[in-house]
Chains A and B, each alone.
Chain A
Amino acid sequence: MAKRVGIEVSLAISEAVKLAQVDAVAAYPITPQTHIVEHLSELVAEGELDAAFIPVESEHSAMSVCAGTSAAGARTYTATSSQGLALMNEILFIIPALRLPIVMTIANRALSGPISIWNDHSDIMSVRDTGWIAIFAENGQEAFDLTLQSFKIAEDHRVLLPISVNIDGFTLSHVIEPHEFLDQEEVNRFLPEYKPAVQLNPDDPVSMGAVGVPEIYAEAKKCQDEVLKGSITVIKEVFAEFAEMFGREYKVVETYQAEGAETLLLTMGSVGETAMEAIDQLRAAGRKVGLVRLRLWRPFPAADLRAAVRGIKTLAVIDRAVSFGGTGGPVAGEVRSALYSVKDAPYVASFITGLGGRDITVDDFIGMANQAEAMAKANEIHEYKMIGVRE
């Protein structure tokens, strides 16, 4: 096993991208993603990574260039955040429709306005329906491992879809953590060379992105949805293969102290680490409380979630984005929908918190667990509550 290296998470991601031996990177710097692409540009400039690093004038161009390089058969990577992701929006929809397996890191950051450079999940939630696979990392090691695994998932010919690896801005991107790196030989054993199913080639011409007349548009959308839903099989296979080779196990829905729990908290991303501390304290006090950490956001792992919450009484979903004018946080809405037809489904409390860089503390999690249990006991009809807001 390779040695542990203390390194900033952003740089660890760049090193993972280098180990994946990408052919092309097109990206535009934006806080808090900047260090990732800055380091990649250095690696290319210093000759350590044999790739085309294509500087562009905007994120719209970055994703457009990525579409081109991927269509030409290049293993393609980019990274962005917040407003940058919003500016890519138009092209984001086209990438999965064309079945281009681009890997993108999103250093999650709040959307304007007011302008905020700090972390929440409003950026990724705003692109929920673009058709990308979306995976969340909880710490630096996960970010490194999931970046490598993402290339293998995306490029599998049963998938051929783009993936976003979501890491919390600053909370992950700018902290120095110990990482167990893999060496090039290990990565090569796990991640074979990218073999495109089809690529742009003048000797064997194809047209990508042709018009979808009413007679075929619905079939195109159905195909995209089926392939995205079916990708969960490949995601699980790749996670299993990675665990087999390197000993670090990943699941689409992770649980912590869920055995015998009556109440579960549900988080996505780095706050799961704080929530685990809260769970430890609650368990020490004799409370039957555990944690569900949703790793896979798209395709939504509904069956795995149902299995994870079977038999519990209360589920407290913590969202880090607002669906303005809606009936709950975006994750809570999805969770409620997945559980609605389940007999004896748990009471689902929706809490929105941690917006625009506001910390969520251990006490906050304990408070939400208490509140959710009280609401469930009273069978309180509610849509969502914002936690930690001055009233």
Chain B
Amino acid sequence: MTKKFNEKAWHEYDLGFMVSRPGCSAEYRTGDWRSQQPQTNKDKCIKCGVCYLVCPEGAIQLAADGTYDFDLEHCKGCGICATECWTGCISMVEEGE
């Protein structure tokens, strides 16, 4: 079984700790950095996709119904989507509430 990036011994990494597999940063879960998470009132969503465009983490994906879902394993809770949403359908909610 291949070890996860945070399980390897010091001598098991690529030379100079370079990244040799494109896209492997997706394996690093940044979701637990979050103190607030986005919640959507999908009734107000006009499917414009602005949230998808502005998310700096690529943590917003197109859902089958044309609205957007949040990947909470990677969303850091920055709130840019909520600020930019045209209809105000995204709100940031304290974690644990």
Contacts and interface: CB of A to CB of B under 8 A. Distances in A.
Interface of A: 97-100, 160, 197-198, 205-210, 212-213, 215-216, 218-220, 222-223, 226
A98 B19 CA distance: 11
Contacts of B10: 218-220, 222-223, 226
Nearest to B4: A215
Contacts of A218: 10
B64 interface: no
Nearest to B19: A207
Given A198-B14, A198-B16, A207-B18, 5 more contacts: A208-B16, A215-B6, A216-B5, A219-B8, A223-B11
Interface string B24-39: 0000100000000000
Given A213-B28, A215-B5, A216-B5, A206 B11 contact: no
Nearest to B12: A219
A207 B14 CA distance: 11
A99 B14 CA distance: 11
21 contacts: A97-B16, A97-B17, A98-B16, A98-B18, A99-B15, A100-B16, A198-B15, A198-B18, A198-B20, A205-B22, A206-B14, A207-B18, A208-B16, A208-B18, A210-B17, A215-B5, A215-B6, A216-B13, A216-B17, A218-B10, A219-B9
A212 B17 contact: yes
Contacts of B17: 97, 210, 212, 216, 220, 223
B13 A206 contact: no
Contacts of A99: 15-16
A205 B21 CA distance: 8
Given A205-B22, A206-B20, A160 B15 contact: yes
A232 to B, nearest CB: 18
8 tightest Cβ-Cβ pairs between the two chains A and B:
A215-B6, A99-B16, A207-B19, A219-B10, A222-B10, A98-B16, A223-B10, A220-B17
Contacts of B13: 216, 219-220, 223
B15 A216 contact: no
A160 B10 CA distance: 16
Chain A contact residues, majority secondary structure = loop
A205 B14 CA distance: 13
Contacts of B14: 198, 206
Contacts of A207: 18-19
Contacts of B18: 98, 198, 206-210
A98 B22 CA distance: 18
A210 B5 CA distance: 13
Contacts of A215: 5-6
B19 A216 contact: no
A185 B20 CA distance: 37
Nearest to A97: B16
Contacts of B15: 99, 160, 197-198
A226 B12 CA distance: 13
Nearest to B9: A219
Give the interface centre of B8, B15, B17 by most chain A CB atoms within 10 Å. B17
A195 to B, nearest CB: 13
Contacts of A198: 14-16, 18, 20
Contacts of B11: 223, 226
A99 B22 CA distance: 20
B59 to A, nearest CB: 18
A86 B21 CA distance: 35
Nearest to B28: A213
Nearest to B8: A219
A219 B16 CA distance: 11
Give the interface centre of B11, B13, B15 by most chain A CB atoms within 10 Å. B15
A376 to B, nearest CB: 42
Contact of A210 (B6, B9, B19): B19
Contacts of A222: 10
Give the interface centre of B10, B19, B22 by most chain A CB atoms within 10 Å. B10
Nearest to B20: A206
Nearest to B21: A206
